[in-house]
Structure formats: structure tokens, C-alpha cells
């Protein structure tokens, strides 16, 4: 059953935040715009298309992994928890988890109330006996959960290696905010993409069909559409690089020639070869992933990977703080 009224946990980021991030990001060096602005309607469609590409392994690897470990998840998590998903549910992954563990409620949290409404209605149809309690808000900060789940044990769900979009500093802040939202004794099931060779990583972010390039360039089109921009999109090229020191894939938009344009009436000029940094996708080894969780207040208790070791699902627990003996 779906709770019809979507709770507004926090004011939603609208145009002013996009405008501020873009104007600020184009003015500072290196130029950089936060990756969350990729996901307008067109960007979300393009990301869906990315997940079906032969080169983009994360989504299908994580989905198959979830399916394969369903009985072990049931045993490690148990029934009766309120599942709190950070980000509106993925149509493929969320039902696998909900079907595996027999939860008492499902609380998807997303900044986009529209997206939340659609995905929640779909889930409520598939699980007619499960209370679905969507919460519109920014999960980067601690959020009060719906009163209906206050007394239930919690399981946070954060699939997709979305944590990889954040640098470790911001990732730790997010993990701590999740701990504050879910409370002591909660569990967290988190997906993390693993470090692997660039012969696999680079094509995953620079595919032969050019879908990732269109996804990246759509950010410039969105700026033109929503912020009165005059960016000559054809003069920019998608670039994906592996940053070994930071253990991350970076996506950039590189200017093919000197360009001048306006956004919201403000003039900008970018020289040939200069880039706008649009995304980081951090990859973690087994130790790095566990250390990140511990730094964020979560104790890893179980860990699963696919046979190639390309993607990890880690189950962690918010244990009471203890000092060293
Ligand atoms: C949704 C953030 C996990 O980093 O792999 C896919 C986004 N960017 N291709 C990722 C993305 C380019 C994706 N995440």
C-alpha cells in the first residue's frame, strides 16, 4: 500500500541551486559542475541507456550479484526491517532486495518528488502488502524518518556505487548522515564499484556508441535550456580519464576551440583544451571500502562480490561507539 501524501523532509533543490552551482562552477578553476545536475528527464533516460551498454558493467553486475546472494541476505538481515533507500528505487534492484528479506516497510528518499511518486507507485503495485512511505528530501543531511517506522529496526540501502560520485571526505559525511537518520543498531547495504584495469574502466565511461558522451554533453544542453545559456555544445568533447592517485574515473567536457558564451546573462570564455570537470566515480579496493565505512561510523559485517571481483555489496552495522581498550 502506498502512502499518497509524500512527506517533504527538506526543501527540494530547484533552479536557484542549479544556477548557483553552474555559475560558480564555470567561474572557479579548475571548472567543475556537480554530477547530480546530469539527471534531468533527458539525463535520466540517457543514464538508463548507459546501464544497458555492453561496456557498462556496474548495473548488470550488481543486479546479478543481488539476485545470487538473496538467500544469504535473508539470513544476514532477517525479516521485519524498515528498508530506507537513499535515492528513489531502481526498478530492477529494489524488488530483488524487498523480495529477499520480507521487510515491514519501505521508505524511498529522493530529492525529486515526481520521480519518487512514479517509482513508489510501481513498487506498491508489486508489493501490495508492504507499507511504502516515500520521503522527498535531501539525504545528504540527516532526515527525520516517517513516524510509522520509528519503532522498527532499519536497513539502509544505497546501491549503484552512488557513493563513488563523492570524494571520500563527502562520502564519509554522507555515511555519518545516514547513521544519524537510521540510528544505532541499523544495518546498511551499500554497493561499491571495485578498482580494476583501465581496459575495463575507460570503455565503461567512454562507450563505442557514444551514449556516455551524450549523457555528459546533455549537461551543457540543460544549461542552455534552463539557464538561458548560449553554450556551443558542438565545440565540446566528452573525455573519460583514470586518475590513479585519487582512484577514480573522471569525466570532463573539453573545449575543442576557444569559445565564448553566456549563462544567465553572464559572459564566459573557455580556451581550447580547457575542460569542465563534470563527474568523479571513485573505485574502492576491499580495504579502502571497509575503511570508508568505518570512517563513516559503520562496521562492515559481510561482503559479497561477483566472480570477477568487479563490484562489491557490503553489509555494515551502526554499532554503539566503543573506545579502545
Ligand atoms: C550512477 C554514479 C554510479 O559513476 O558509474 C555512468 C554514473 N556516469 N556513466 C557511475 C555514470 C557515467 C554512475 N553512477
Ligand 1 pocket test, pick from 37, 54, 61, 165 with the greatest ligand atom count within 8 Å of Cβ, gives: 165
Distance 37 CA to ligand 1 centre (A): 12
User: pLDDT over 90 for what percent of the chain?
Assistant: 85
Average pLDDT over residues 75-92: 92
The label of the residue with cell 578553476 reads 29
Residue 112 has pLDDT above 90, yes or no: no
DSSP state of 315: E
The pLDDT, as a whole number, for residue 321 is 80
Ligand 1 pocket test, pick from 165, 216, 280, 281 with the greatest ligand atom count within 8 Å of Cβ, gives: 281
Residue 314's DSSP bridge partners are 190, 303
Q: List the residue whose alpha carbon is closest to atom 8 of ligand 1.
A: 205
The pLDDT, as a whole number, for residue 26 is 98
Please spell the DSSP secondary structure of 139-159, one letter per residue: TTS--PPPGGGTTS-EEEEE-
Residue 10 has pLDDT above 60, yes or no: no
The pLDDT, as a whole number, for residue 323 is 76
Q: List the residue whose alpha carbon is closest to atom 2 of ligand 1.
A: 162
The pLDDT, as a whole number, for residue 4 is 63
The label of the residue with cell 562520502 reads 171
Distance 197 CA to ligand 1 centre (A): 17
Q: List the residue whose alpha carbon is closest to atom 14 of ligand 1.
A: 162
- The residue ranking higher by pLDDT, 10 or 150, is 150
Q: List the residue whose alpha carbon is closest to atom 9 of ligand 1.
A: 205
Atom of ligand 1 nearest to the CA of 240: 12
Q: Is the pTM of this model over 0.75?
A: yes
Q: Degrees (nearest 5) of the Cα angle 255, 257, 259?
A: 80
Distance 212 CA to ligand 1 centre (A): 9
Q: pLDDT tens across 114-153, in order? A: 888 888 999 999 999 999 999 998 888 889 999 999 999 9
The pLDDT, as a whole number, for residue 115 is 80
Average pLDDT over residues 280-296: 98
The pLDDT, as a whole number, for residue 7 is 59
Q: What is the mean pLDDT of the chain?
A: 94
The pLDDT, as a whole number, for residue 21 is 97
Residue 227 has pLDDT above 90, yes or no: yes
For the four alpha carbons of 53, 58, 61 and 64, in that order, the dihedral sign comes to: negative
Confidence label for 113 from pLDDT (cuts 50, 70 and 90): confident
The pLDDT, as a whole number, for residue 11 is 37
User: pLDDT over 70 for what percent of the chain?
Assistant: 96
Widest Cα–Cα separation across the chain: 62
Least confident of 39-48, 65-74, 94-103, 165-174: 39-48
Average pLDDT over residues 273-290: 98
Q: List the residue whose alpha carbon is closest to atom 4 of ligand 1.
A: 281
Distance 51 CA to ligand 1 centre (A): 9
Average pLDDT over residues 49-64: 97
Say if residues 113 and 136 touch (Cβ distance below 8 Å).
yes
Residue 8 has pLDDT above 70, yes or no: no
Q: Which residues of 128-137 are buried (b: 16+ CB within 10 A; e: fewer)?
A: eebbbbbbbb
Q: List the residue whose alpha carbon is closest to atom 5 of ligand 1.
A: 281
Average pLDDT over residues 42-65: 96
Around ligand 1, the residues with Cβ closer than 6 Å are 50, 58, 160-162, 164-165, 205, 212, 279, 281
Amino acid at each position: 500500500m502506498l502512502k499518497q501524501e509524500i512527506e517533504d523532509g527538506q526543501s527540494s533543490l530547484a533552479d536557484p541551486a542549479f544556477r548557483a552551482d553552474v555559475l560558480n562552477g564555470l567561474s572557479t578553476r579548475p571548472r567543475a559542475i556537480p554530477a547530480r545536475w546530469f539527471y534531468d528527464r533527458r539525463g535520466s533516460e540517457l543514464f538508463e541507456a548507459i546501464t544497458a551498454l555492453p561496456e557498462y558493467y556496474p548495473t548488470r553486475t550488481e543486479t546479478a550479484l543481488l539476485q545470487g546472494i538473496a538467500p544469504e541476505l535473508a539470513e544476514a538481515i532477517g525479516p521485519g526491517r524498515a528498508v530506507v533507500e537513499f535515492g528513489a528505487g531502481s526498478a530492477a534492484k529494489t524488488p530483488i532486495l524487498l523480495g529477499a528479506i520480507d521487510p515491514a516497510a519501505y521508505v524511498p528518499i529522493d530529492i525529486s518528488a515526481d520521480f519518487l511518486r512514479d517509482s513508489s507507485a510501481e513498487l506498491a503495485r508489486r508489493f501490495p502488502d508492504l507499507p511504502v512511505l516515500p520521503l522527498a528530501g535531501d539525504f545528504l543531511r540527516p532526515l527525520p524518518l516517517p513516524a510509522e517506522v520509528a519503532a522498527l529496526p532499519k536497513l539502509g540501502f544505497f546501491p549503484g556505487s552512488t557513493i563513488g560520485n563523492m570524494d571520500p571526505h563527502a562520502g564519509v559525511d554522507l555515511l555519518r548522515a545516514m547513521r544519524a537518520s537510521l540510528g544505532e543498531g541499523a544495518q546498511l547495504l551499500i554497493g561499491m564499484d571495485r578498482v580494476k584495469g583501465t581496459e575495463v574502466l575507460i570503455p565503461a565511461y567512454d562507450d563505442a556508441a557514444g551514449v556516455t558522451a551524450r549523457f555528459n554533453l546533455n549537461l551543457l544542453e540543460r544549461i542552455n535550456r534552463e539557464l538561458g545559456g548560449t553554450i556551443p555544445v558542438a565545440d565540446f568533447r566528452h573525455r573519460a580519464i583514470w586518475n590513479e592517485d585519487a582512484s577514480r574515473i573522471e569525466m570532463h567536457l573539453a573545449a575543442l576551440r576557444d569559445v565564448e558564451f553566456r549563462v544567465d546573462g553572464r559572459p564566459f570564455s573557455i580556451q581550447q583544451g580547457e575542460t569542465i570537470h563534470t563527474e568523479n566515480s571513485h573505485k574502492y579496493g576491499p580495504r579502502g571500502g571497509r575503511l570508508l565505512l568505518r570512517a563513516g561510523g559503520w562496521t562492515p559485517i559481510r561482503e559479497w562480490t561477483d566472480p570477477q571481483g568487479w563490484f562489491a555489496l557490503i553489509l555494515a552495522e551502526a554499532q554503539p561507539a566503543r573506545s579502545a581498550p
